[in-house]
Chain A
Amino acid sequence: MQNAILEKIDQAHSKPSVPQLEPGDQIRVHVRIKEGEKERIQIFEGILLARNNSGIRETITVRKVSFGQGVERIFPLHSPIVAKIDVVKRNRVRRAKLYYLRKLKGKAARLKERARR
């Protein structure tokens, strides 16, 4: 974003901290779910395929394979729906968008864990 005033306003509405996320990370997204009156947390665990947009508009695409069926969810990073994000594993990948994983399954869809620095 180019405008300093807009940036300041966005910052006031953004989450104070979002963990450092990179494509290829195995992450657990804690999702707030409202059922009538009650609110509970559901965990969506998968591979971070892509980060899109920037600033307060930023979203992440997370993919997992559930009972043999690929499932992807897109989360707005700064939405209050996303309660928390844990990084389970960081994998070594060579591109920013991992859409190629959609075509792969089983063994071919594995990623190698990144060596610790």
Chain B
Amino acid sequence: MREHDAMAPGILGKKIGMTQFFDEDGHVVPVTVLQAGPCAVIQRKTAGKDGYEAIQVGLVDFLREKLVNKPARGHFAKAGVEPMRFLREFRLEDGSSDWKPGDRILAEQFRPAERVDVIGVSKGKGFQGVVKRHNFRGGRATHGSMFHRAPGSIGQSAYPSKVFKGQRLPGRMGGKRVTVRGLEIVEVRPDDNMILVRGAVPGARGGFVAIRRAR
């Protein structure tokens, strides 16, 4: 597997956790530590064949053999890479660069002060009411109030006589794909495959994230 020197459109990783530093002026910089890569390109998608330009990338990680079914094994064998658990695609600007299956993407291909978007799955909050889920204000707690955290009216009677689609109601919260855009890379530690970004990133520690170069 060769290393690729063109600008990688993104890299996959794992959220390790958060900590903080001080800058020269003594201000605290909150950072999220992301284990980024090593990644391998598994498939090149082209406009001619797939309708769009992209690379499919996998995060190199140990995976037990019995977890890989035959179709997947074939897919990885075709690229000449070991099986991986976490695969994502990154779009390529049309005609850009010559990525080939088997190319590596490493943390060191990113530089401090660059901006990235981080895509992850937010922490699941379970079935939540409307106050937590949609930031409704709720009612008064005391002084005879009988209206606390209920959603209130969800529509009128004679007309329209139905509840409009998209009405915000209680339900499952979190556990969804969330993109945080424009995070600044604070530090890159190539020896540890670590990228440190300023600010928070969706998901729990140990969760998989995709790190995409911000446009």
Contacts and interface: CB of A to CB of B under 8 A. Distances in A.
A9 B26 contact: no
Q: Interface residues of A toward B: which range?
A: 10 to 19
Contact of B194 (A5, A10, A13, A81): A5
Contacts of B26: 32, 76, 79-81
A9 B196 contact: yes
Interface in A78-102: 78-81
Interface in B1-43: 16-17, 19-22, 24-26, 28, 33, 35
Given A5-B192, A5-B194, A9-B33, A80 B16 contact: no
B16 A6 contact: yes
Given A32-B26, A79-B26, A80-B24, A8 B192 contact: yes
B75 interface: no
Contact of A78 (B16, B22, B24, B33): B22
A34 B196 contact: no
B91 interface: no
B17 A34 contact: no
Interface residues of B, number: 17
B189 interface: yes
Interface string B163-197: 00000000000000000000000000100101010
A102 B25 CA distance: 31
A10 to B, nearest CB: 6
A56 interface: yes
The 10 nearest A-B residue pairs measured at CB: A81-B26, A13-B21, A79-B26, A79-B22, A80-B26, A6-B17, A6-B19, A5-B16, A3-B17, A80-B22
21 contacts: A1-B19, A3-B16, A3-B17, A3-B205, A5-B35, A5-B192, A6-B19, A6-B33, A8-B192, A9-B33, A13-B22, A34-B25, A56-B19, A56-B20, A76-B22, A76-B28, A79-B22, A80-B22, A80-B24, A80-B25, A81-B22
Interface of B: 16-17, 19-22, 24-26, 28, 33, 35, 189, 192, 194, 196, 205
